[in-house]
Amino acid sequence: MPEETIRRISDLALPRKLRRNELLFNAGEICRHKVFVMSGLLNTFSISADGNQHILQFSPENSWTLDVESYDREIPSQVSIGAVEPSTILCWLKKDFEMLRAEIPQLKKFAEDLIARNTHYSRKRILLSLSATPEEKYEDFVQTFPDYLARLPLRMIAAYLGISIKTLTRIRHAQLQR
């Protein structure tokens, strides 16, 4: 995109810095912003009744994040989004982002491509979570997100994979033995 277009898009954004473990918003609140991660790493998660964390996704630098259902339908979110590490983000109110999408065809195309990519990725993840062994889930994680291993605590990787920390430790130990 031309520099002038990028400036127009960023001028309507609210820049924000998040500290490590700071929440962008909590479950129960309405997601009112489309968020672009300039630097850092965010995660989207829920906490079950028994206190276990379930991580739905990670959003690294140069990616978008939001709770789509809460944002689109303006209903309370079932998830929280927080910073795994210090992060710098840009936030757009829905009305501003929709106006930009209508005005800037490249942004509309970019947003549609991201939605399609996320849909494909989500489908793959659902299939893996339903049919893969813990070892296969971990291997896919390592292949898909190799740089996350150094950035995430094991408890978060386990929460993302839907396995216990004990199982994850056993899998990693077995791999080191090979």
Answer for the pair 163, 128: CB distance below 8 angstroms, yes or no. Answer: no
Q: How much of the chain exceeds pLDDT 70, in percent?
A: 100
Does position 177 have pLDDT exceeding 90, yes or no?
no
Q: What is the DSSP letter of 61?
A: T
* pLDDT-based confidence at residue 112 (cuts at 50, 70, 90): confident
- The CATH code for residues 3-103 is 2.60.120.10
Does position 178 have pLDDT exceeding 80, yes or no?
no
Burial class (CB in 10 A: 0-12, 13-18, 19+), 118: middle
Rounded to whole angstroms, the Cα distance separating 156 from 53 reads: 8
Task: State the helix-helix crossing angle for 165-177 and 154-161, rounded to 10 degrees.
Answer: 110
- Category of 28 on φ-ψ map: left (φ > 0), alpha (ψ -120 to 50) or beta: left
Query: Structure pTM?
Result: 0.88
Q: What is the pLDDT of residue 110?
A: 85
Q: What is the pLDDT of residue 13?
A: 96
Mean pLDDT of 120-131: 90
* Phi, psi (degrees; rounded to nearest 5) at 7: -65, -40
Rounded to whole angstroms, the Cα distance separating 146 from 152 reads: 11
Answer for the pair 161, 170: CB distance below 8 angstroms, yes or no. Answer: no
Q: What is the pLDDT of residue 28?
A: 96
pLDDT tens-digit readout, 31-64: 999 999 999 999 999 999 999 999 999 999 988 8
Q: Which residues contact 158 (CB under 8 A, 6 or more apart)?
A: 164, 165, 167, 168
pLDDT tens-digit readout, 70-111: 999 999 999 999 999 999 999 999 999 999 999 999 989 988
Rounded to whole angstroms, the Cα distance separating 95 from 138 reads: 39
